Structure 1
Amino acid sequence: MDYGIVSLRSNGMFAFLPLGQRVISKLVALIDEEMRSISAQKLSLPLLTSGHLWKITGRWDTTGQELIKVQDRHNKDYVLSPTHEESVTNLVSEVYPLSHRQLPLRLYQTTSKFRDEMKPRFGLLRCKEFLMKDLYTFDDSEEAAVVTYNEICNAYDRVFQRIGVPYLKVAGDCGNIGGNFSHEYHYQAAIGEDTLLLCNACGISTNSQLVANPDDVSCTKCGNQLTKVTGIEVGHTFLLGTKYSESLDAHYQNEKGKPELLQMGCYGLGVSRIMAAVVEVLSQDEYITWPWILAPFKVCLITPKKGSKEEGAKPWVDHLAEYISCMQGFQNDVIVDDRDKLTIGKRVTEAKKTGYPLIIVVGKRACETVPLFEVIDSRSNKVQVLSHKLLLNYLKEVSIEQ
C-alpha cells in the first residue's frame, strides 16, 4: 500500500499514515458498535505480559520462535504479547469471588500484537506488529459458553456483512491457543496462505489442516467432492473450555457459594489484516478500491488549477465542501485536493489510485452561466456532468443505496 495509507518503516513494521489511520478508525468504530450490541466491555491490557503466566499455561515453550521474549533489568521474563489469554485470565482470577450473577463477562480490546515473523511478506498480511481486536468471554457452564460463542459469531458475521466484501466462515484448527473447537473467517484471494475446502452442495466448509488427505476428500455430510480455494484469514473464534481458567485458577462462585472454573472463549479480528485484505480482494492493478464504509474519505473535491481560466470557479469548492460534509452519509467525509499547481487530470488520476469512491471536479464548466460539475464514480469509472441541484440529488441517492 502507499498513497498516504501506510509506510514501511522496517522489515515487517508499518506506520499508518493519515488516510490509513482514518480507515482503521472507521473499522474500529464499526467493530465497537457490534461489540456494544452484545454487551462486551472495552479495556486495554499491557502489551508486555509476565513470562511467568505463559510458563504456567505451558505456552512459553510451545509457541515457538515467533514468540517475542524479553527481559527487564532485573532479568524478569516478559512476552511482547501476540494474544492475551494469560493476561486477561489472570486479571479475572483476581476478581474472585465473582458471582454467577455477574456472568457472562465479555472483555475486549483493540491493540497492537507482535509476532517475530521469520520472513515478513505481503505487507500488512504477514508482519511483525499488527492491530487486532481480541475478545475474551467467561461463562458459568459449557452450555452457556456455547450460547455466548454463537452470539459472538453472529456479531462477527454482522461486521463482515457491513463491510460488504464476500467472506468465508470455515471450521478451523485450534492450534497453539487450544480449545474445543474454532472457526475462521477468510477473504478468498490468490495470495491467501490457507487452503479451504468448500462443499457447494451442502455448504460445509473447513480449513484443509483439519483433513487427513486434502488432495482427495469428499464431504462427510453429503459425499460430494470438496472445492479448494485459498483464503486470507482475518478472524478466528475459539471455544476454550477451562484450559486457561484451570491453569491460572480463575473461578466464579456458583449458586451454593462454591468455587467453579470459568468456561472461556476467545475471539480475534485482525483489524490491520482486514484493511489490507479488502484492498487485495477489491483492487485492480495500481488502483485501490475501498468498501464504501471504510473509504478514508467518500468524496474528493478537485479544485481549479492555479492561473487557469476556470480559477474563478474556486468559490464553488468551499460551498460544496461545506454543504456535502453536512449531508447524511457524508458527514466529515469530504477531502479537498487543493494542490492547485498540479493539473486537474493528474489529481483525478491520483484520487482514483487512492480509492476515493466519488470524485467531483470543479473545472471550466463550473464557470458557465449554469455551473456544471464533473462527477466520477471511481468504483465503476462512470462519469457524469451535473448541475448543482442534480449533483446534490445524486449524492443523496448514493448515500441511500449504501
Structure 2
Amino acid sequence: MASKVSVQTSPSSYPSLTKLKMTPMPCSFEVDSFAKSAHSGVFHLLPLGLRVQNKLEALIDKHMESIGASKLSLSSITTEALWRQSGRYSANSELLRINDRRESGFLLSPTHEEEITSLVSGMVQSYKDLPLRLYQIGRKYRDERRPRQGLLRAKEFLMKDLYTFDYSQEHALKTYEQVRQAYNNIFNELKIPYLVADADSGNMGGKLSHEYHFISPKGEDNVWSCNSCSYIANEELVEKRVDEVPTSDPLVFEGISTDRTTKIIIAVPRPTSQEKIQNLTWDNISSFVNLHAAKKAAPDLDTGIETSTLTSLLPKTTQTTHITDRRLSSPQQSPNIDLTPTLPSSPCPRCPSGKLHVQKAIEVAHTFHLGTRYSTPLNALIAVPDSSEKRALQMGCHGIGISRLIGATASLLSTDKGLNWPKVIAPFEVVVVTPPSLSPSTSASTSTSTSSLSSTTSSSSTPSDAERIYDTLTSINIAADTILDDRADKGLGWKLKDADLIGYPVVVVLGRGWRESGVVEVQCRGLGVREEVEGRDVGGFVRGVLGRL
C-alpha cells in the first residue's frame, strides 16, 4: 500500500499544529506551524513553511529555465575589497561585517553583483560565450536597524537573484524584456493582483528598473497609478503634469550636503491653496518639496537631518548651490525639474484626462538593467565583433524576495478564519479530515520522527476509509498533493478549524454523511465551494476544483 503523508501527534517536540496562533500579527505567516522567530529579525522555517518555500522555489525554477537561465550557488561571504572596487562600500551602510581573527574584511552578502561579475570576468572572454544567464536562490543578510513586520523586514532573508550578461546594449534590453515576461508569468501563476511600477535604480546602478508590488495596507512603499491609462510609478519616480505658468512667489528652504560643506537652497512655487504658511522649517519640507526630486538634482543633499542640527551647521558651510523648480526659473538657469510633491488627483503625465492615486504596497521583486555599472570597475571585458578593443559586459540583475513574498502572500490572503494559500505554493493542495472513529489505529501510525509532517505506512492489511480517499486523490489520474489528518486524539470540529487556520486550498471531510450514505463534503474557501460528493466521484470533483484555483 502506498505510503501516507499524515499529520500525526508525535510524542516529542515537532511544531504542533495545535500551537497555530491567529492573534493579530504584523505578518500572519509568522505562526508556530510555519516559522518561528529566533532573534530580532531572524527566523527558523518549520516543516509546513519549508514546503511553501520549496514550492515557490520550484515555480521560480520553472520560469527561469524557460529563459535559459542556469542555476548556481554563490558563497554568502564576500569582501570589503570587492565592494570598494565597485564603489558601493560604505562604513555606515547596512552591510553585516565579519570580524575574524585576521581582520580579513569579510562581509555577509546582501546581494551578489560584485561576486558574480568577478566570477564571470574570469570565465567569459568573447561575445561568442554570450548570452549568459545565471541565477541562485540563497540567503542574504542586512544589518537592519529596526527589523519589523516579521519576514517582510528581517536581518536574514531568502532571495532569488538572476544575473544576465550580454555584449551589447541592444541584446541586454531584449534580455531584460524576456526576464520581465518571465516575472509576469511567475506572478500570474500565484493569481494575486500585483502592480509593476517604473522605479529608480538607486545605488544598484543603471537607469532602467521595475518594481513588482502587492497592494497592502501593511506595505512600506507608495505606488502611484493613473485611473485612465497604464502609468504606474513608485514614490521615487512618480511624475505629474504641471501647470507651466511661471511664478515669482517662491518658498525657500535651506539644506546642507552630507559632507557639511555646502548650503543647498531649494526654491519651489508657493501653494495657491494656503494663504498663510506658518512654521516653515526643514522638518516640514516634505509638505512642500518632493525630496526624491531634490535628491536627484543634488545627490549629496542630506534629507534626513533635523532642523536643530541643520541650524547649527549652516553658518559653517563654505559654498552654496541652488535647486529651483522649473516654474520659477528658465531652463538656462536650472535643470528642468518639478520639485513640488505629487498629491492624490494630480494630473497624469502620460494621458490628458487621467488622475493619479496612491496605494500602500509591499515590494516583492525588482528588475534592473545595470549596463556597465559593475563590469567597468571590475574589469569584466570581452572581445566583441567588429572591434579590436574589448568592451565591458552589459549586465542585468533581477531579484525576487522569496521569504518576503511568502510573508506578503500570507498577510494578504489571511482572513479571520486563517491563512488561504494560493494552490501553487500551498503546503498541501488538499487535506482529508476524519473524525477519530475513522482514523487508522494509533499503533499503525506511530512515528518516531520529530517532524510534524511524517511519512508513515499503515501496518493493517485493509486500508481505512480515509486511506482509500487519500489513495484516490493521490492516484496518477488526480495527482493532488494531499495530506491525511488522521490524528485520533482530535475531534472533527477541531480538525476543521485547524485546516482553515493552516490554509489548505481544498478540505475533504469524512463526517456524518460518509457514515450514513457514503458521501464526503468538499470545501474550498477560495471559491466558496461547500458540496457533498459521492465517494466514488470525489477524485474527479476535487480535480475540477483544483483546476479552477
Q: Paired residue for 1:215?
A: 343
Following superposition, the deviation at residue 218 of structure 1 comes to 2.5
- Work out whether 1:186 is the aligned partner of 2:213: yes
Q: What is the rounded CA distance, in whole Å, between the counterparts of 1:218 and 1:364 in structure 2?
A: 61
Cα 1:346–1:21 shift into 2, 3 Å: same
Following superposition, the deviation at residue 66 of structure 1 comes to 1.5
Q: What is the rounded CA distance, in whole Å, between the counterparts of 2:537 and 2:437 in structure 1?
A: 27
Q: Paired residue for 2:147?
A: 120
Q: Deviations over 1:145-187 (max 9, x none)?
A: 1111111001000000011101000011211211122100000
Question: Which amino acid in 1 is paired with 2:529?
Answer: K
The TM-score with structure 1 as length reference comes to: 0.94
- Runs (4 or more) in structure 1 with deviation over 4 Å come to none
Following superposition, the deviation at residue 371 of structure 1 comes to 1.2
Correspondent of 2:530 among 370, 375, 383: 383
Q: What is the rounded CA distance, in whole Å, between the counterparts of 2:87 and 2:370 in structure 1?
A: 15
Q: What is the rounded CA distance, in whole Å, between the counterparts of 1:380 and 1:345 in structure 2?
A: 21
Asked if structure 2 preserves the Cα contact closer than 8 Å seen for 1:171 and 1:182, the reply is yes
Q: What is the rounded CA distance, in whole Å, between the counterparts of 1:258 and 1:292 in structure 2?
A: 52
- Work out whether 1:317 is the aligned partner of 2:466: yes
Q: What is the rounded CA distance, in whole Å, between the counterparts of 2:478 and 2:212 in structure 1?
A: 28
Following superposition, the deviation at residue 25 of structure 1 comes to 0.7
Q: Deviations over 1:257-279 (max 9, x none)?
A: 64211011100001111111112
Asked if structure 2 preserves the Cα contact closer than 8 Å seen for 1:306 and 1:341, the reply is no
Point out where structure 1 has 5 or more consecutive residues left out of the alignment. none
Q: Paired residue for 2:101?
A: 73
Asked if structure 2 preserves the Cα contact closer than 8 Å seen for 1:252 and 1:261, the reply is yes
Correspondent of 1:227 among 346, 357, 362: 357
Q: What is the rounded CA distance, in whole Å, between the counterparts of 1:389 and 1:40 in structure 2?
A: 44
- Work out whether 1:41 is the aligned partner of 2:189: no
Asked if structure 2 preserves the Cα contact closer than 8 Å seen for 1:140 and 1:262, the reply is yes
Asked if structure 2 preserves the Cα contact closer than 8 Å seen for 1:372 and 1:387, the reply is yes
Q: Deviations over 1:33-89 (max 9, x none)?
A: 100110011100000012110011121117x43211123221111111110000000
Question: Which amino acid in 1 is paired with 2:510?
Answer: V
1:190-269 aligned at under 5 Å gives the runs 190-211=217-238, 212=290, 213-215=341-343, 217-223=346-352, 224-255=354-385, 256=387, 258-269=389-400
Question: Which amino acid in 1 is paired with 2:394?
Answer: Q
Q: Deviations over 1:102-122 (max 9, x none)?
A: 211111000011111111111
Please identify, of 359-368 and 172-181, the stretch whose mean Cα deviation from structure 2 is larger: 359-368
Correspondent of 1:343 among 472, 491, 498: 491
Asked if structure 1 preserves the Cα contact closer than 8 Å seen for 2:506 and 2:522, the reply is yes
Q: What is the rounded CA distance, in whole Å, between the counterparts of 2:224 and 2:511 in structure 1?
A: 52
Cα 1:155–1:173 shift into 2, 3 Å: same
Following superposition, the deviation at residue 314 of structure 1 comes to 7.8
Q: What is the rounded CA distance, in whole Å, between the counterparts of 1:359 and 1:204 in structure 2?
A: 41
Q: Paired residue for 1:301?
A: 432
Question: Which amino acid in 2 is paired with 1:182?
Answer: S
Asked if structure 1 preserves the Cα contact closer than 8 Å seen for 2:438 and 2:466, the reply is no
Matched residue of 2:374: which SS?
helix
Correspondent of 1:89 among 94, 117, 123: 117
Point out where structure 2 has 5 or more consecutive residues left out of the alignment. 1-28, 239-289, 291-340, 443-461
Q: What is the rounded CA distance, in whole Å, between the counterparts of 2:478 and 2:74 in structure 1?
A: 34
Q: Paired residue for 1:394?
A: 541
Matched residue of 1:203: which SS?
coil
Following superposition, the deviation at residue 131 of structure 1 comes to 0.7
Asked if structure 2 preserves the Cα contact closer than 8 Å seen for 1:301 and 1:337, the reply is yes
1:350-365 aligned at under 5 Å gives the runs 350-365=498-513
Q: Deviations over 1:185-228 (max 9, x none)?
A: 00000011000110121111100112442226422111432111
- Percent of matched pairs sharing the same residue: 39
Please identify, of 31-40 and 281-290, the stretch whose mean Cα deviation from structure 2 is larger: 281-290
Q: Paired residue for 1:136?
A: 163
Matched residue of 1:179: which SS?
coil
Q: What is the rounded CA distance, in whole Å, between the counterparts of 1:66 and 1:249 in structure 2?
A: 26
**Higher helix proportion, which one?**
1
Following superposition, the deviation at residue 356 of structure 1 comes to 0.6
Following superposition, the deviation at residue 251 of structure 1 comes to 1.0
Q: Paired residue for 1:32?
A: 61
Matched residue of 2:366: which SS?
strand
Matched residue of 1:247: which SS?
coil
Matched residue of 2:58: which SS?
helix
Following superposition, the deviation at residue 364 of structure 1 comes to 3.5
Q: What is the rounded CA distance, in whole Å, between the counterparts of 1:375 and 1:260 in structure 2?
A: 62
Matched residue of 2:498: which SS?
helix
Matched residue of 1:106: which SS?
strand
Q: How many residues align?
A: 396
1:325-336 aligned at under 5 Å gives the runs 325-328=474-477, 330-331=479-480, 333-336=481-484
Higher Rg of the two aligned structures: 2
Q: What is the rounded CA distance, in whole Å, between the counterparts of 2:393 and 2:478 in structure 1?
A: 43
Cα 1:351–1:144 shift into 2, 3 Å: same
Asked if structure 2 preserves the Cα contact closer than 8 Å seen for 1:12 and 1:121, the reply is yes
Q: What is the rounded CA distance, in whole Å, between the counterparts of 2:501 and 2:208 in structure 1?
A: 42
Cα 1:295–1:374 shift into 2, 3 Å: same
Question: Which amino acid in 2 is paired with 1:345?
Answer: G
Matched residue of 2:60: which SS?
helix
Question: Which amino acid in 2 is paired with 1:283?
Answer: S
